[in-house]
A and B are shown apart, each in its own frame.
Chain A
Amino acid sequence: MPSLKDLRNRISSVKSTKKITSAMKMVAAAKLKRAQDNAEKSRPYANKMKDIVLSLISRSNTNNLKFSKTINKKTVLLIVCSADRGLCGGFNGSIIKHTKNLINILKKNGKDFKFLFVGKKAYQALRRHYKDLTIDLISDFANPRIEFEVASSIRDSVLKLFFNNEISECYLIYTKFKSAISQHVESQKLLPVEKDNKSENQTKSIMYDFEPNEEVILDDIIPKNIAIQIHSALLENLASEQGSRMTAMDNATRNANDMIDKLTLFYNRSRQALITKELIEIISGAEAV
Chain B
Amino acid sequence: MSFNLEIISPQQTIFNDEIDLCILPGIEGDFGILKNHMPFLTTLRTGIAYIYQNKKMVETFLVNGGIVEVSENKCTLLSEDILKTSDFKVEKTDDKKEAEKMRISKKLYYS
Q: Which residues of A are interface residues toward B (Cβ below 8 A)?
A: 38, 41-42, 44-46, 48-49, 52, 56, 148, 206-212, 216-217, 220-221, 224, 227-228, 231-232
Contact = CB atoms under 8 A, between A and B. Distances in A.
Contact of A45 (B28, B72, B78): B78
A211 B39 contact: no
B8 A56 contact: no
A44 B13 contact: yes
Given A48-B76, A148-B80, A221-B67, A41 B12 contact: yes
Prevailing SS type, chain A contact patch: helix
A211 B78 contact: no
B10 A209 contact: no
B87 to A, nearest CB: 18
A216 B13 CA distance: 26
A40 B72 CA distance: 25
A231 B10 contact: yes
- Which residue, A46, A52, A211, A228, has most C-beta atoms of chain B within 10 A? A211
Contacts of B98: none
B41 A42 contact: no
Contacts of A49: 67, 78
A217 B8 contact: no
Interface residues of B, number: 22
Contacts, number: 66
Interface of B: 8-13, 26-28, 38-43, 67, 69, 71-72, 76, 78, 80
Contacts of A42: 10-11
Contact of B39 (A48, A208, A231): A208
A52 B27 contact: no
A228 B72 CA distance: 25
B77 to A, nearest CB: 10
Contacts of A232: 10
A109 B69 CA distance: 39
A220 B80 CA distance: 13
Given A208-B71, A212-B42, 16 more contacts: A45-B10, A48-B78, A52-B69, A148-B10, A206-B39, A208-B39, A208-B40, A209-B38, A210-B40, A210-B41, A211-B26, A211-B27, A212-B27, A212-B28, A228-B80, A232-B10
17 contacts: A41-B13, A42-B11, A45-B8, A45-B10, A48-B8, A48-B76, A49-B67, A148-B10, A208-B39, A208-B40, A208-B41, A209-B38, A211-B26, A211-B27, A211-B42, A217-B42, A217-B43
A224 B39 contact: no
B39 A207 contact: yes
Contacts of B41: 52, 56, 208-211, 217
Contacts of B38: 209
Contacts of A228: 10, 80
Contacts of A220: 43
- Which residue, B10, B11, B13, B38, has most C-beta atoms of chain A within 10 A? B10
Given A52-B41, A209-B41, A217-B42, A41 B11 contact: yes
A207 B67 CA distance: 17
